[in-house]
Amino acid sequence: MERARAAAVLEGLFAVLVWGASFIATKVALADASPVTVVWLRFAMGVTVLGVAAAVRRQFAVVPVKELPTFALLGLIGITFHQWLQSNALVTSQASTSGWIVASTPVFMAMLGRLVLGEKLSWPRVAGIALAALGVLLVVSKDDPATVLAGHFGAPGDVLILLSAPNWAVFSVLSRGALRKHPATRMMFYVMTIGWLFTSVLLFTGPGLSEIGRITPRGWAALAFLGIACSGLAYMAWYDALQHMPASQVGALLYLEPLVAMTVAVVVLSERILLSTLVGGAVILLGVWLVNRAPGETGAAPEALAVHAGEE
């Protein structure tokens, strides 16, 4: 039992480290190709990895036709639209800034639970939501709070990254039903495949395949990391960890993700870390901790952590 738990912790940490670095890998790939090309190539690899994994694990099965609309909706929201938001955001948003903003996803889960499911919010959770909002404003202020007070919300990409957080919260809620019926690898294979097909429409009505030949070896390395590690291996490791540990314990590992993103961004991209980023990030994590740890109700926020806070 202890050995299985230790393995689960390692798998969870692997997923978090990989997802934290995904912001930086996306920035590197975007130097060679447009967002839609990057997303299309990434998920072409991810679909292949998950397909092979589902076959090896004997989890592959043809799903009933009546379930395909659900997978199509999940693919549209969680793959096509989510990755469109994040990849376009990273054209102008810093990788480190994006990591902190995405960390606020569990807060949106709590708000979604209140608005859609009628779940009560205790005062500590309300305080957590307020703190997380303040933290996001500090992060995007870039050490100049006056710009936020004047109505300028950071770089254009910061807005898209912020929109991706509630979008992932919606995806997480909608995924619950599918995860009760199918193994995670099978579900993600279908969701990712359909999302990739939707992205194919964007690719061939836009840049087409013309950009692929111009991608540098550095760009291909970033794409391979995104497709094989982030969209394939990390998802499997994450759900394996969830099978051997409580969701709340596995989800707590995600607090490390923005720290990983910030550290790798400094090393690889030479991004400058501002005081407002550090303070705002700490405030976001405190707010998320309050939302997830406040006693008194069974909220939806912990599940946001379990499903993953919006991998990029």
Are 144 and 285 within 8 A, CB to CB? no
206-227: pLDDT as tens digits: 999 999 999 999 999 999 999 9
Instruction: Tell me whether residue 78 is exposed, middle or buried, using C-beta atoms within 10 angstroms of its C-beta: 0 to 12, 13 to 18, 19 or more.
Output: buried
Q: Is the pLDDT of residue 247 over 70?
A: no
Are 109 and 172 within 8 A, CB to CB? yes
Give 92's contacts (C-beta < 8 A, 6+ positions apart). Answer: 155, 156, 157, 158
What's the one-letter identity of residue 7?
A
94-106: pLDDT as tens digits: 998 999 898 888 8
Give 162's contacts (C-beta < 8 A, 6+ positions apart). Answer: 101, 104, 136, 153
Tally the C-alpha atoms within 13 A of residue 79's C-alpha that lie toward its C-beta: 34
98-135: pLDDT as tens digits: 998 988 888 888 888 777 767 777 888 888 889 998 99
Q: How far apart are CA 71 and CA 67, in angstroms?
A: 7
Distances (CA, A) of 67 to 72, 90, 300: 9, 33, 24
Q: How far apart are CA 265 and CA 27, in angstroms?
A: 9
pTM: 0.86
HEC string of 100-154 equals HHHCCHHHHHHHHHHHHCCCCCCHHHHHHHHHHHHHHHHHHHCCCHHHHHCCCCC
Q: What is the pLDDT of residue 117?
A: 66
